[in-house]
Amino acid sequence: MNKEVLAHQILSTLHQAGFDAYLAGGCVRDRQRGFPAKDFDIATSAHPKDIIKLFERTVPVGVAFGVILVILEDQAFEVATFRREGNYVDGRHPGTVTFSSLEQDAKRRDFTVNGLYYDIRSKSVIDLVEGQADLSKKIIRTIGDPESRFLEDHLRMMRAIRFSVQLGFEIEKKTFEAIKKHASKIKLISAERIRDELIKTLTSADPELGIRLLDETGLSQEFLPELSKMKGVEQPMEYHPEGDVFVHTLLLLKGMKNAEMELAMGALLHDVAKPDTFQRAPDRIRFHGHDVLGAEMTKTICKRLAFSNAQTELIASLVLEHLRFKDVFSMRVSTLKRFMSLPRFDLHLELHRLDCLASHGKLEAYYFAKEKYEGFLKEPPPPLKLITGEDLIQLGFSPGPLFSEIIKKVEDQILEGSITNKKEALSFVIANFSHAKD
């Protein structure tokens, strides 16, 4: 059943039991903007114990804060009691919560555009914080004094930027200045929360604006200082007429919309090591080894921001391999096939395309690799493991580092198409490595 219909069922059940209940927050905001809502949160006068009694399946995710998940047809809905929050003790969570009125519930929310409610009975929006006016003006503004709201919950500073880029709204001046003033406090927020907001910003339709705002407010300096180091780092004009490393990175992000998280992070960090590898050589500016160092730096950054191991490996691989496309025309067939066998090679291709468009604009290598990759995907995978270490022992070889070299050479020949079965593989080994038995 449609999720909105299910949300209306929950509201009706609460109404029939004598409680006030409204759709709240983002779903109302998006409805007013003419966009479909993804999640349907509900605010109600019912207390947690009442909610648990009324519905068959519930999960007490935050009883102390008055938050219960109601499960209908395997869909989860957050149902929260109207509440007033006391002083915040850790820059993220209120020290006390008391159940209160709709008016008090509206005042404790973060931004005016998120402080709207919808009454399905009267089919009307309840606006106690001038949220509709800010929606029409496309403004992100805190409810109440911005400094107070950011001192209560420091993560709201990043949420302001995230909503700005997701909605295409401008951050109101006093709100923006308050973020700049208190940006250093973002360090008190957990890495996981910062990571989540960063990802939502980077995977939006306007990641370039998001990074600009994080930089202009000083927030990124607190959790990703490597970005600021890119500023003013010159690049060779023949390859990068657009400007320094930071400008190039922003241009790359400008061409990326609603990207997958790993691609977005790879794009952000692909040149992260250029400031540390900058050399003004006699012929031109060089960044020798910035791909290798960049991959190591990326792993450090991803660990700092609590990415998973799998996410970290893919992001670091995008950084490590991004220079290899310049060599695709001269690669042996086996080398090219190994390159195209990288996990998520489609993301490597897209990063290369974006990189080129943000610099010299030449896409010959991209189209060449893309065509080869499309053909590669249609080929049946070759049987790379035709021989094993046991086969080499039977041929008289002693176990050691040579085994890896032999097996790789055999795999190369398989990828080249010159070896198709085990007999041919063994003949190749005898013909090319018999001299190394001793």
What confidence tens digit (pLDDT) does each residue in 278-308 have?
998 777 888 999 999 999 999 999 999 999 9
Task: Please report where in the chains the tokens 């176990």 appear, as a residue.
Answer: 399
Taking the CB of residue 16, how many other CB atoms lie within 10 A of it?
A: 9
Phi, psi of 151 (to 5 degrees): -70, -30
Per-residue model confidence as pLDDT tens digits over 351-387: 999 999 999 999 999 999 999 999 989 887 766 787 8
Between the CA of residue 147 and those of 143, 181, 183, 300, what are the distances in Å? 11, 8, 11, 32
Average pLDDT over residues 273-277: 96
For the ranges 48-62, 265-279, 327-341, 383-397, the lowest mean pLDDT is seen at 383-397
- Ranges assigned E (strand) in 112-188: 116-119, 124-127, 139-140, 170-171
Q: What is the pLDDT of residues 87-113, one digit of tens each?
A: 666 655 665 567 889 999 999 999 999
Q: Which residue has the higher pLDDT, 286 or 203?
A: 203
What DSSP character marks residue 331? -
Give the residue from 315, 295, 318, 319 showing the smallest Cα distance to 307. 315
Q: In a 3-state reduction of DSSP, which class is residue 186? A: helix
Which of 163-177, 334-348, 370-384 is most confident? Answer: 163-177
Burial class (CB in 10 A: 0-12, 13-18, 19+), 73: exposed
Helices 364-378 and 345-357, axial angle in degrees (round to 10): 170
Please tell me whether residue 124 adopts helix, strand or coil conformation.
strand
**H helices within 26-95, ranges in order?**
26-33, 48-54
What does pTM read for this prediction?
0.86
CA dist., res. 342 & res. 376, Å (int): 12
Q: Residue 158: exposed, middle, or buried by beta-carbon count in 10 A (0-12, 13-18, 19+)?
A: buried
Contact 62, 69 (CB under 8 A): no
- Nearest Cα to Cα of residue 276 among 268, 265, 288: 288
**Alpha-carbon distance 234 to 274, whole Å?**
9
pLDDT at residue number 90: 61
Q: What is the pLDDT of residue 394?
A: 80
Q: What is the largest CA-CA distance in the chain?
A: 90
